[in-house]
């Protein structure tokens, strides 16, 4: 496909998304009907679509309209690429710009320029103060790819060597000692030997930092109460060297976990109904995902105040149930990939008010400016 044809395909996918189809489904629909498209074409179309989703409002302003075509014109203008050079009407390229399109478009302002819905823009400012604008700006860019080196299979140097041998270049990152940032060859990871043998896992660096901050030691009884795909359960098992119990309200979300654990050489025990008590219970709760909107930008536009309210209630409920599973003197760890105070510090304050005697030992808000996703973590100690 020519660069112009890729833009035309992206415009069509964006129109489907604007009409309500989830982005992944819209991309899949296009790709099924596009047998002529090679893997590089598919990746390029996907990149255009996600670049626009991160900048949904500002690209519409600069492109002078709400269609996929207009937003792509806006995106090219932001990238300092003359739309005329690609909207040529040749072959499968989009039609040349009309006089109206040539003259259209304006600079975005305020929340529109920060590419946030107004209500989230206000909430982010309430939550982060002066750091809000930089955080919003970071969410407009692509996210770096990070790997976690699995200490059960090898060390950092061994992983870097193995990856370099397969054309994947990496560098270490100050946020987590076991993290590698991929600087070249990210698309080769899934097919690499290092990945197949469990030497590395895909995991954001802030996610890794949250686990590294936990006081994990061999012999500790650990429960991952919201295990999902098991990224953090695997990271915790690598640190303790022992078994980690994994639970999720929706056990289907843990379906890949046995295969991932086998690959990683980790011991994970799935538990349908946790009983008894643990030394450490991690609650990596469902959240707005606002810290990860670089990766999943649709969330910015689909989140509603009602859904956020619902999520904060679920989060509080999980904390209350999980608190009962912590042994006296043990630790309850809370994590979200959110930058909104209602899901983070306010949630912890409310927990402490509901549970006298518990103490807050650490709390940290990670921002995309730190390198990884926006993340929050808190460690709460149960009275002995």
- Regarding 295 and contact with ligand SAM (CB under 6 A), the answer is no
Write the binding mask 259 to 288 for ligand SAM: x where contact by CB under 6 A, - elsewhere.
Answer: -------------------------x-x--
In sequence order, what are the residues at sequence separation of 6 or more whose Cβ sits closer than 8 angstroms to the Cβ of residue 341? Answer: 123, 126, 127
Q: In angstroms, rounded to a whole number, what is the distance separating the alpha carbons of residues 118 and 112? A: 8
- Regarding 226 and contact with ligand SAM (CB under 6 A), the answer is yes
Position among 5, 210, 227, 244 found at the interface with ligand SAM (CB under 6 A): 227
Position among 243, 250, 310, 320 found at the interface with ligand SAM (CB under 6 A): 250
Stretch that binds ligand SAM, among 5-13, 222-230, 291-299, 343-351 (CB under 6 A): 222-230
Q: In angstroms, rounded to a whole number, what is the distance separating the alpha carbons of residues 162 and 157? A: 9
Q: In angstroms, rounded to a whole number, what is the distance separating the alpha carbons of residues 143 and 229? A: 20
**Could you give the angle at which helices 23-32 and 39-54 cross, rounded to 10 degrees?**
150
Q: Any binding-site annotation on 90? A: no
Q: Any binding-site annotation on 115? A: no
* Residues identified as active-site: 337
- Regarding 299 and contact with ligand SAM (CB under 6 A), the answer is no
Reference 149, options 197, 220, 221, 190; nearest CA is 197
Binding footprint of ligand SAM, residue count (CB under 6 A): 16
- Asked if 291 and 337 touch (Cβ cutoff 8 Å), the reply is yes
Could you tell me where the DSSP H helices lie in 129-255?
A: 132-138, 156-165, 193-196, 205-212, 231-240
In the region spanning residues 2 to 61, those forming contacts with ligand SAM, defined by CB under 6 A, are none
Position among 42, 92, 188, 253 found at the interface with ligand SAM (CB under 6 A): 253
Compare residues 48 and 247 and give the one whose CB is closer to ligand SAM: 247
Position among 243, 249, 309, 359 found at the interface with ligand SAM (CB under 6 A): 249
- Asked if 59 and 71 touch (Cβ cutoff 8 Å), the reply is yes
Q: In angstroms, rounded to a whole number, what is the distance separating the alpha carbons of residues 207 and 228? A: 14
Q: In angstroms, rounded to a whole number, what is the distance separating the alpha carbons of residues 271 and 278? A: 13
Q: How far is the CB of 14 from ligand SAM (least distance, A)?
A: 27
Q: How far is the CB of 243 from ligand SAM (least distance, A)?
A: 17
Reference 371, options 191, 158, 180; nearest CA is 180
- Regarding 343 and contact with ligand SAM (CB under 6 A), the answer is no
- Regarding 339 and contact with ligand SAM (CB under 6 A), the answer is no
Across the beta sheet with 176-184, the strand order is: 169-173, 176-184, 145-149, 200-202
β-pairing verdict for 278-284 and 176-184 = unpaired
Compare residues 90 and 250 and give the one whose CB is closer to ligand SAM: 250
Q: Residue 289: left (phi > 0), alpha (psi -120 to 50), or beta?
A: left
- Regarding 314 and contact with ligand SAM (CB under 6 A), the answer is yes
Compare residues 230 and 368 and give the one whose CB is closer to ligand SAM: 230
Q: How far is the CB of 276 from ligand SAM (least distance, A)?
A: 17
Q: In angstroms, rounded to a whole number, what is the distance separating the alpha carbons of residues 317 and 322? A: 9
Q: How many CA atoms lie within 13 A of 313 on its CB side?
A: 6
Stretch that binds ligand SAM, among 98-106, 144-152, 219-227, 343-351 (CB under 6 A): 219-227
In the region spanning residues 126 to 145, those forming contacts with ligand SAM, defined by CB under 6 A, are none
- Regarding 228 and contact with ligand SAM (CB under 6 A), the answer is yes
* Binding annotation for S-adenosyl-L-methionine: 248, 284
* Binding annotation: 248, 284
Q: By the criterion CB under 6 A, which residues form the site for ligand SAM?
A: 225-232, 248-250, 253, 284, 286, 314, 318
């Amino acid at each position: 496909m020519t660069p112009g044809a890729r833009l035309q395909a992206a415009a069509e996918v964006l129109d489907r998304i604007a009409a309500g189809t989830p982005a992944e489904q819209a991309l899949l629909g296009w790709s099924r009907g596009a047998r002529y498209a090679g893997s590089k074409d598919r990746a390029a179309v996907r990149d255009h679509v996600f670049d626009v989703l991160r900048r949904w409002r500002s690209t519409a302003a600069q492109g002078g309209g709400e269609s996929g075509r207009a937003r792509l014109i806006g995106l090219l203008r932001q990238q300092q690429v003359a739309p005329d050079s690609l909207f040529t009407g040749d072959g499968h390229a989009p039609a040349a710009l009309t006089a109206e399109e040539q003259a259209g478009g304006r600079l975005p302002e305020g929340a529109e320029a920060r590419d946030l819905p107004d209500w989230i823009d206000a909430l982010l400012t309430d939550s982060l103060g002066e750091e809000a604008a930089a955080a919003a700006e970071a969410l407009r860019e692509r996210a770096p790819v990070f790997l976690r080196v699995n200490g059960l299979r090898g060390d950092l140097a061994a992983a870097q060597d193995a990856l370099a041998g397969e054309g994947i270049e990496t560098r270490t990152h100050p946020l987590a000692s076991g993290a590698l940032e991929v600087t070249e060859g990210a698309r080769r990871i899934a097919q690499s030997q290092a990945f197949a043998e469990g030497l590395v896992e895909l995991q954001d660096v802030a996610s890794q930092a949250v686990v590294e901050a936990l006081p994990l030691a061999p012999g500790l009884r650990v429960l991952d109460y919201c295990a999902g795909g098991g990224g953090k359960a695997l990271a915790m098992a690598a640190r303790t060297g022992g078994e980690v119990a994994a639970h999720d309200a929706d056990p289907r979300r843990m379906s890949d976990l046995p295969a991932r654990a086998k690959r990683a050489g980790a011991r994970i025990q799935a538990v349908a109904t946790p009983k008894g008590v643990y030394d450490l219970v991690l609650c990596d709760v469902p959240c707005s995902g606002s810290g990860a909107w670089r990766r999943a930008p649709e969330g910015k536009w689909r989140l509603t105040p009602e859904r956020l309210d619902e999520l904060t209630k679920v989060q509080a409920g999980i904390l209350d149930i999980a608190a009962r599973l912590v042994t006296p003197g043990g630790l309850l760890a809370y994590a979200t990939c959110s930058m909104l105070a209602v899901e983070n510090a306010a949630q912890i304050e409310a927990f402490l008010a509901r549970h006298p005697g518990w103490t807050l030992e650490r709390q940290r808000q990670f921002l995309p400016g730190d390198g990884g996703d926006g993340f929050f973590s808190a460690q709460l100690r149960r009275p002995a």
